[in-house]
């Protein structure tokens, strides 16, 4: 009697993702070997996280910007866009410092947030409190909802 063993790949999504994860690890290992250091892909780590909400009169953009001062930010509004830019600086507290973990990124950021409607750019206000930037963006009069009265006989 002859017994054959077949290597049957995992069926379903889990098997496919495991294969992709293994491929990613292999590629990182090859980059590390070629470059002589750990390969780290570029990420959007310095971008502030932003929530955009609205009510009947305004849009509100709230961005997390811990450690930044108001004078380090540039904010502008045009048409249907809000533009936030600045630079996050993180000091290493000394020249001979070795990082064991580095998750906070430093660098310049530039976010362009598309707004759902037209705005009144002359009345935009911004406040930075406890590391949270709140930008109040008034809607243009044409973009505000209008109450329409229904006439009856």
The helix/strand/coil state of 132 is strand
Enumerate the domain spans of the chain: 10-42, 46-90+105-142
Question: How far are the Cα atoms of 63, 64, 68, 74 from residue 132, in angstroms, in the given order?
Answer: 6, 5, 10, 15
Q: How far apart are CA 59 and CA 41, in angstroms?
A: 34
Residue with tokens 């973990």: 101
- Give the per-residue pLDDT at 108: 87
Structure tokens at 60: 């509100």
Ranges in the chain, pLDDT < 50: 43-44
- Give the per-residue pLDDT at 96: 78
Residue with tokens 């009144």: 120
- Give the per-residue pLDDT at 132: 94
Q: What is the pLDDT of residues 110-123, one digit of tens each?
A: 888 999 988 999 99
- Give the per-residue pLDDT at 14: 58
- Give the per-residue pLDDT at 31: 76
CATH architecture of 46-90+105-142: Sandwich (2.60)
- Give the per-residue pLDDT at 52: 95
- Give the per-residue pLDDT at 2: 61
């Amino acid at each position: 009697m002859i017994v054959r063993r077949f290597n049957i790949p995992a069926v379903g999504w889990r098997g496919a993702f495991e294969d992709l994860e293994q491929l990613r690890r292999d590629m990182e290992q090859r980059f590390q070997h070629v470059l002589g250091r750990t390969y780290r892909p570029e990420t959007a780590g310095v971008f502030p996280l932003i929530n955009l909400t609205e009510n009947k009169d305004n849009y509100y953009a709230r961005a997390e910007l811990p450690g930044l001062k108001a004078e380090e930010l540039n904010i502008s509004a045009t048409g249907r866009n809000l533009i936030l830019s600045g630079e996050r600086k993180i000091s290493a507290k000394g020249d001979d410092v070795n990082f064991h973990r580095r998750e906070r990124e430093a660098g310049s950021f530039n976010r362009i947030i598309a707004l759902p409607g037209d705005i009144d750019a002359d009345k935009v206000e911004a406040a930075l409190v406890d590391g949270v930037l709140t930008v109040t963006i008034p809607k243009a009069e044409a973009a505000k909802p209008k109450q329409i009265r229904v006439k009856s006989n």
